[in-house]
Structure 1
Amino acid sequence: MKSEYDFSNATPAAGRPAKRKTRITIYLDDEVLQQFRSLSEQSGKGYQTLINAALRMRLPQARPETALAE
């Protein structure tokens, strides 16, 4: 390995989509979180992904297949 690398001409990786998510802090009832964690274990998807999908389905323009695709 080199002791130093020159990244002055480096460019961002092409083809990687920009993230469209924002980190927030949210307080949920323990029972709600427990239910989503249980659903997460059953489905194999992350509980935060399931919460996001549930919230998307409540939006007026959302379609169920779009919400669950993430």
Structure 2
Amino acid sequence: MKKNNTVDLSDDLRPEYDLRELLKTGVRGKYAKRYREGTNLVLLAPEVAAAFPDEDAVNEALRLVIQLRKIPAKRKRKLSTV
């Protein structure tokens, strides 16, 4: 037995909301550049993403990496052959 899918497609918008008039001066992508400048998205590889339960865990791990980079690396001494 088929369901009777009758959708009422009548225009129930008020006459004062003429979309042709309202959208006539619209600019596509008006804020796209500003959005991209304020957004820093990074796509993680699937195996990397699987290691972190949420974005907070990723941020915490990256903060740890930043701290570790600040620790100076110890240099190995060369043995003198005298």
RCO greater where, 1 or 2, for CA within 8 Å and sep 6 or more?
Answer: 1
- Taking structure 1 as the reference length, what is the TM-score of the superposition? 0.37
Tell me which structure has the larger Cα radius of gyration.
Answer: 2
* Larger proportion of helix: 1
